[in-house]
Amino acid sequence: MDSLDLQVLSQAREWFREGRRVWLVTVIETWGSAPRPPGALLCLRDDGLVVGSVSGGCVEDDLIDRVRHGERVGQASLITYGVSKEEAARFGLPCGGTLRLVQEPLRDIAWVDELLERTARHELVARTLDLETQQVTLAPATRGEAFGFDGRVARSVYGPRWRLLIIGAGQLSRVLAQMALALDFEVLCCDPREEYHLTWDVPGTSFSKGMPDEVVTEMQLDPHSAVVAVTHDPKLDDLVLLEALKSPAFYIGALGSRGNTAKRKERLAMFDLAPAEIDRLHGPIGLDLGGRTPAEIAVSILAEMIAVRNGVTLVQKKAGSAVPGGRAAEVPVGPVCGSVAR
């Protein structure tokens, strides 16, 4: 599944091909509380149809109303909501937020075609919009880059900014991979067992039948990487953990009970891992949501990954679970209040 912003661009391209007039609206800056971060994207059609989001809905309603009443922005330009107290209240900004947007007419889809093709190949792509020259350019981006705006040029990054390595190709892994794709993870599943790798069929993911420790080394895990071992086979799970726990990956978890987790840590301690490295292991994996089905367990794993990524305290854990302390990585944390800015 594509990320929301790539879906927006894909829909914009289809509307353009149908001969409709289309505008892209991007969150440029926010002050105060805002539910959508800088870089969030919306596509607006000439009859008021929209896809994507730049607020909780109130700002979208105003943009739709403007288009339906004949307002047609001819070039990329800035719009601001929530400057005054009265306007903030009108547009549903109870926390005093301000939202600054750039609205641009879509005149050409060649860059959209290229961007979608490159992100489909798992490339990270930066798109820049120069408000003075009105030019759009594409360039390679690096993992960890965030949206930027210097007052003239807006730079958005598209493609999978997070990576998830799943060890094991069972039913749980399939559901986990599908959900992770929806959360903008680039997903790689690794399983050298022939009876498993021959049946892997999750579109949008990559697969390796190499040995897990070798795959981890090749990936060069970084603070935007997560590793989940769910094979139930200690020989495979422990192989990947020996390498992953020494890496800067923001999250490393392994399936198993508290008893099995304790035994696993005893085995890991027999190798060249420091106690602090072993303590990074999340086990039993996932938050305690009471889930039993593969889908419910996948939700609990991803919920824990997101909490760790955002630096949230893991309070929903079973008693006795190993809960690594501290913040996982230097990663920007988005706003959490349900208001909008402009």
Every domain of the chain and the residues it spans: 4-158, 162-309
- Rounded average pLDDT per 10-residue block, the chain, 342 residues: 78 97 93 75 94 82 90 91 61 63 95 93 90 96 87 90 91 95 90 83 90 91 92 86 93 91 91 91 89 93 93 76 53 32 28
Tokens of 312: 């949230």
Q: Measure the CA–CA gap between 97 and 56, rounded to whole angstroms.
A: 12
Q: What is the pTM of this model?
A: 0.67
Question: In this structure, what token pair is assigned to residue 267?
Answer: 């085995």
CB 119, CB 158: distance < 8 Å? yes
Name the CATH topology of 162-309. Rossmann fold (3.40.50)
Strand, coil or helix: what is 292? coil
Beta-bridge mates of residue 103: 25, 77
Q: What pLDDT, on a 0 to 100 scale, did the predictor assign at position 246?
A: 93
Specify the pLDDT at position 90.
60
Considering only CA atoms, which of 285, 274, 216 is closest in space to residue 247? Answer: 216
CA 237 → CA 42, 214, 233, 273, 286, distances in Å? 42, 13, 6, 15, 16
Long-range contacts of 190-197 (CB under 8 A, 24+ apart): 190/165, 190/166, 190/215, 190/240, 191/167, 191/231, 191/236, 192/236, 193/169, 193/236, 196/168, 196/169, 196/170, 197/169
pLDDT of res. 307: 92
pLDDT of residue 328: 39
